[in-house]
A and B are shown apart, each in its own frame.
Chain A
């Protein structure tokens, strides 16, 4: 474990608790993954345990992690394209409740808008242009109150429409503000002892989110030797110096999936959706599945060997073939 000692020395390798303590109340936070896949769940659960407040989420299509954070009262504002947990909750149940009750301020974009905004943030662009959404209410309706515009991380304008400067007859274009979140939370399959991250399967918007963010926290299934991860650099996703905190968290995306490691836990997602419907049941969910565990290992003991083996990925497929997903 000489490598691990080295990582500890360079200060990046830490516990869930230490990593999440780097997130401040009020931070703008982006989440890796997509609806039921590779959500940074271990980090989200720890955020709830640390009772983070006033978090400003900027995401594309989320997801189980967002549901828990909103339900636990950690989030006060969100910019997003889609809030749902696939078939388990086609509209996020806690998301819907929080929006309809006015507890959560929301501003809607499209998925392409959001990925472009992360790209702009990552590239240092002042804004980025597209024609997606022209004439829709995404362009016409603002979700945030005027008095918070231009303050903190809230963009002065949600977006701007202007005439295409290259061809006035081509109609209008939409200018979008870049995103540079305070924190990106990412779950990866592998991180090398040097800190290099490797994401397998689809990367969604994780790479752009990480590159755009000021602080990057990565949990991973395995920490592998530097020689191993550098033997095949074509497969690597993020350079080590962009990542500020690394936590080994096996099954860290559970109950969402992690390609090549495990499938989504449809049984758990069903229970979680059911328990999200009433406030008192959701509180019970948190009491049962979030608050009691200080470490990922304790959480996994609660999930149980049988369930973990049930969803374990077959290496020939990257998922659990024949899994009962009803």
Chain B
């Protein structure tokens, strides 16, 4: 990739989905980079909060987890899980959650729990954490994925968090008042969901990535007819990310060759 890493382009790509004034429910890792880069460039009025209870901290140093003491400093309020998770559903807030997952299906439902049988799994992941609550209550969700066939699957081994369920108006019928996945940001592309069927489609592909390759790495049939090239990261986006957001490269990791 031309002069930037997967993590860099994913952070920038997800950051572009943020609107000024959004209330961002951030995990750590790439999601925090995305939120912070957006806040520093085009969405200065956006606010970051954490499920642990840190509401709008100053984030002078990059937190490595949602429970890092760095999410407790310069905050508007320090609280706890009850207060923080309650904010997700507030109808006057455009809350956007950022999460990663082990598996995703065509309707943006995710698995972050296990592979194989639930009671005797072949592999175990951490679990739903607060992601299930964000998927249930937030205005919208952005999901980070490594683009691999084994992760974009026809059927999840376990549904930890609700995406568009079985598509169409299934979410509404189930009892959810709003929300649903907005986009999946991968190391190859940005995927979005059809307004009617709620099925995932390829929206934008990164420079140097062939849409056919994205199709090959997706474990279910994917519409690539609507795809357009992704506008490459700008110098401003890259320098903000590298120099201001994560100068120690704690999350960014090794720079591009």
Q: Please give the residue numbers on chain A whose beta carbons come within 8 Å of chain B beta carbons, in ascending order.
A: 33-37, 60-61, 80-84, 86-87, 90-92, 95-96, 99-100, 102, 108-116, 119, 131-138, 141, 143, 164, 170-173, 201-208, 257, 259, 263-264, 266, 313, 317-319, 321-322, 325-326
Contact = CB atoms under 8 A, between A and B. Distances in A.
Contact of B120 (A102, A108, A208, A264): A102
Contacts of A86: 28, 64-68
Interface of B: 28-29, 51-54, 60-61, 64-73, 78-82, 85, 109, 113-114, 118-133, 136-137, 158-162, 165, 170, 172-177, 248, 250
A82 B126 contact: yes
A84, A115, A173 interface centre (most CB from chain B within 10 Å): A115
A95, A99, A119 interface centre (most CB from chain B within 10 Å): A99
Contact of B122 (A84, A100, A207, A326): A100
Nearest to A256: B67
A205 B65 contact: no
B69 A318 contact: yes
Nearest to B57: A202
Contact of A34 (B52, B73, B137, B250): B52
A61 B129 contact: yes
A37 B69 contact: yes
A84 B109 CA distance: 22
B124 A95 contact: yes
A136 B161 contact: yes
B28 A205 contact: no
B126 A135 contact: no
Contact of B118 (A87, A133, A141, A173): A141
Contacts of B177: 131, 170
Contacts of B118: 137, 141, 143
B56 to A, nearest CB: 13
Contact of A202 (B29, B54, B113, B175): B54
A279 to B, nearest CB: 17
A191 to B, nearest CB: 19
Contacts of A266: 64
B165 to A, nearest CB: 5
B113 A91 contact: no
Top 10 A-B pairs ranked by shortest CB distance? A171-B175, A86-B65, A82-B129, A110-B132, A34-B67, A37-B67, A112-B133, A84-B126, A319-B69, A202-B53
B114, B127, B158, B160 interface centre (most CB from chain A within 10 Å): B127
Contacts of A61: 67, 129-130
Contact of B69 (A110, A115, A259, A326): A259
Given A133-B136, A136-B132, A138-B160, A207 B113 contact: no
A204 B82 CA distance: 8
A202 B129 contact: no
A257 B54 CA distance: 15
A115 B132 contact: no
B71 A202 contact: yes
B79, B81, B121, B132 interface centre (most CB from chain A within 10 Å): B81
5 contacts: A33-B67, A81-B130, A96-B124, A173-B175, A257-B67
Nearest to A260: B69
Given A83-B126, A99-B124, 18 more contacts: A36-B64, A81-B127, A82-B130, A90-B126, A110-B130, A112-B130, A119-B82, A133-B132, A133-B133, A133-B162, A135-B159, A136-B162, A143-B118, A173-B175, A259-B72, A264-B69, A319-B68, A319-B70
